[in-house]
Amino acid sequence: MFKGTIIAKEAAKGFEEIQDMAGTIGINGTAHSLPADPRTSLLDFLRHDLGLTGTKKGCDHGQCGACTVIVNGMRINSCLTLAAMHEGDRVTTIEGIGGPDAPSDLQHAFMAHDALQCGYCTPGQICSAQAMLAEIAEGWPSDATADLTSEATFSDEEIRERMSGNLCRCGAYANIVAAIRDVARGRADATV
Amino acid sequence: MQPFELVRAPSPSDAAQLTKDEHTRLIAGGTNLLDLMKLQVETPSRLADISRLDCAEITDTPDGGLRIGALVTNTATAVHPRVRQDYPVLARAILAGATQQLRNKATTGGNLCQRTRCFYFTKIDQPCNKRDPGSGCSAIEGVAKLHAVLGTSDQCIATYPGDMAVAMSALDAEVHIMKEDGTERSVPVRDFHLLPGDTPWRENELGRGEMITAVTLPPPVGGAHYYRKVRERSSYAFALVSVAAVIEIEGGVFTRADLAFGGLAHKPWFDPAIGAVLLGKAADDALFDEAADVLLQSARGFGENDFKIPLARRTLRAVLTQAVEDAA
């Protein structure tokens, strides 16, 4: 797995120069070279370097969730991580979840339930919800889970707690919960 | 952000060695450090990436406890079957903090080292003895709702903001630290964080040339576990007051009462005298007040945070009342 590669020049022992490293990051199934400037957040890398502007910059401080993407299956705030630290990682953005021609079940549900007004938070909401449904399927508890040792169960209270990292300034929360609830039920029915 | 070079530390001892340079910071999850770098509260000239070092596992210890690697994410700890089964106070505390996105990145070591959320600390145009020693403390007569009521000094009234370490204090966990020469030392979590005193910039026992490698939990302690966190909204907010408790009651009498408190001080607050008041005595409201008296005997508010003193009393009473009801 980790080969101990080095990202930038370091005079101390055991370090190599960046040029020696074939560093790439996988975005929606395509490998891209890592940015040269280590300051580049994953969010800025996606938007500025790759033109993947579906991922949004809201607060840039991990407070709003508009920048949520899925890295190796885990949802994170792309504003609070350096792109250069994601060598070899697999990133899924909203563009990788679906587009106008082939929207995902969550994207369909957000439209059907009018789960947005301005839409700025929506890509982050959908990436977050996509990972959140997988977390519940794994049986991971949340702060709203009554019994830590039993399987997590699906409820509106669980959705609200688990989605608390995604703010919606338009206040479309009720319909966001409804959209996610629909998809969760749909997926559960599909697996019966 | 100020320009910096990014290197990968090949091993924990190399990482420890790199920290001897005062302008180098270790980065793992980065959720706190990068935030502070954007605000220019932190302006390191070098970041040493430790995120891929071999410290990301949770393993059983020979005595039946649990070793949580420094790079284990908060999520991985909170969902671990043994943490949920044997140390639920820890799972509860972690799940009560931040958001899933942040917990997926935040690590055990980074969480122990996270910086205060004092408004003045994070605004570089404001005086702050922690960020800029000798410049003064703006919070003492300023916006201080989140601030400390215990263990403050005339230099600093900031709080340690985390939840995880509060539960680890109740559990009497141990922090393992590697030095640059590869040797290790350990410090009880209860002693890891420091009070501000005259050196508010020194927040914990970690010195230059050291890196946290793990936290170990003792063998399962039994009892009923509680983490009660009072905050300004029901999710994604820092604690105004939190209580981590491991309680055993037999025949209406406390036989175990390990209590630690968050949101009240520059460190998770643990005072064995609080639990000692309860041990061997019949649980009633008068006894709960006696314990709260010990907790709050030296408490001092700074205006905006005066409410924390009665709030801490009520929160402790609520946890103990719940424990008595659950034991009945």
Residue A59 lies in a domain: yes
A46's tokens: 């996606």
Q: B176, B238, B250, B187: which is closest to B213 by C-alpha?
A: B176
Return the pLDDT at A106.
98
* CATH code, A92: 3.10.20.30
DSSP single-letter state for residue B189: H
Identify which of B4, B7, B75 has the shortest CB distance to residue A15: B7
pLDDT tens across B11-69, in order? 999 999 999 999 999 999 999 999 999 999 999 999 999 999 999 999 999 999 999 99
> Which among B7, B54, B105 is the nearest to A10, CB-wise?
B7
Residue B43 belongs to what H/E stretch? none
Considering the domain architecture, whether residues A181 and A153 belong to the same structural domain is answered as yes
Residue A37 located in a structural domain: yes
By DSSP bridging, strand A68-71 and strand A74-77 are antiparallel
Q: How confident is the model over B86-104, as pLDDT tens digits?
A: 999 999 999 999 999 999 9
CA nearest B65: which of B165, B163, B190, B171?
A: B171
User: How far is B196 from B265, CA to CA, in rounded Å?
Assistant: 9
In the predicted structure, residue A112 carries a pLDDT above the cut 90: yes
Domain boundary among A64, A96, A128: A96
Strand partners, B66: B60, B217
Alpha-carbon distance A26 to A6, whole Å?
19
Same domain, A127 and A151: yes
Restricting to A residues 58-77, those with a Cβ less than 8 Å away from any Cβ of B are 60-62, 65, 68, 74-77
- What distances in angstroms separate CA B233 from CA A81, B238, B240, B316, one per listed residue? 26, 9, 11, 19
Give the integer Cα–Cα distance in Å for B199 and A75: 38
What's the DSSP call for residue A20?
G
Asked whether residue A3 is domain-assigned, the answer is no
More confident residue, B117 or A13: B117
Mean per-residue pLDDT for B199-206?
Answer: 98
Q: Is residue A141 part of a domain?
A: yes
Instruction: Using alpha carbons, list the distances in angstroms from residue B252 to A119, B27, B247, B249, B280.
Output: 56, 48, 12, 6, 9
| Maximum C-alpha span of chain A | 59
Strands A74-77 and A90-92: unpaired
CA–CA separation, B40 and B132 (whole Å) = 12
- Helices A122-137, A173-191: axis angle to 10 degrees equals 40
Question: Chain B residue with minimal CA distance to A158?
Answer: B235
Residue B306 CA to residue B315 CA, distance in Å, equals 15
Q: Specify the pLDDT at position A163.
A: 98
The tokens of B41 are what?
């509260």
Tokens of B193: 């964080």
Chain A partners of B18 at a C-beta cutoff of 8 Å? 12
How far are the Cα atoms of A15, A42, A80, B173 from residue A60, in angstroms, in the given order?
31, 11, 7, 34
Same domain, A33 and A111: no
Place of tokens 């009892």: B223
Q: Please check whether residues A123 and A84 belong to one and the same domain.
A: no
The answer to whether A15 faces chain B, any CB pair under 8 Å, is yes
Residues A70, A116 within the same domain = no
User: How high is the pLDDT of residue A192?
Assistant: 57
Q: Three-state SS for B300?
A: coil
Choosing from A96, A114, A144, the residue where a domain stops is A96
A78 and A151 share one domain: no
Cα separations (Å) of B319 from B230, B273, B297?
Answer: 12, 17, 19
Judgement on whether residues A112 and A186 belong to the same structural domain of the protein: yes
**Residues A140 and A172 occupy one common structural domain:** yes
- The boundaries of the domain holding residue A118 are 105-191
- Rg of chain B, C-alpha, whole Å: 20
> pLDDT-derived band of residue A7, with 50, 70 and 90 as boundaries?
very low
| ipTM for this model | 0.97
Number of compact structural domains in chain A: 2
Measured between CA atoms, how close is B123 to chain A, in angstroms? 14
Q: Are strands A68-71 and A90-92 parallel, antiparallel or unpaired?
A: antiparallel
Give residue for tokens 């981590």: B244
| DSSP states along A105-139 | HHHHHHHHTT--SS-TTHHHHHHHHHHHHHHHHTT
What is the fold, at CATH topology level, of the domain defined by B224-327?
Enolase-like; domain 1 (3.30.390)
Residue of B nearest to A60 (CA): B35
pLDDT (tens digit per residue) in B224-276:
999 999 999 999 999 999 999 999 999 999 999 999 999 999 999 999 999 99
Q: How far is B26 from chain A (nearest CA, A)?
A: 13
Residue A4 domain-assigned (yes or no): no
Q: What is the mean pLDDT of residues B132-145?
A: 97
State the DSSP string of B223-282. SEEEEEEE-SSSSS---SEEEEEEEEEETTEEEEEEEEEESSSSS-B--HHHHHHHBTSB
Any domain includes A161: yes
Distance, CA of B98 to CA of B238 (rounded, Å): 8
- CATH value at residue A185: 1.10.150.120
Arithmetic mean of pLDDT over chain B = 98
What is the sign of the dihedral through the CA atoms of B104, B105, B111 and B117? negative
CA distance A114 to chain B (A): 24
- Say yes or no: A50 and A69 in one domain: yes
Which of A75, A96, A117 is the last residue in one of the domains?
A96
- Helix A122-137 to helix A105-112 angle, to the nearest 10 degrees? 120
pLDDT at residue A15 greater than cutoff 70: no
Best B19, B34, B54, B164 residue to mutate vs chain A (most A CBs within 10 Å): B34
Q: CB distance from A118 to chain B under 8 Å?
A: no
Task: Please give the backbone phi and psi of residue A181, each rounded to the nearest 5 degrees, phi first.
Answer: -60, -45
- Is B26 an 8 Å CB contact of chain A? no
Same domain (yes/no): A110, A69: no
In-domain check, residue A7: no
| In the predicted structure, residue A20 carries a pLDDT above the cut 60 | no
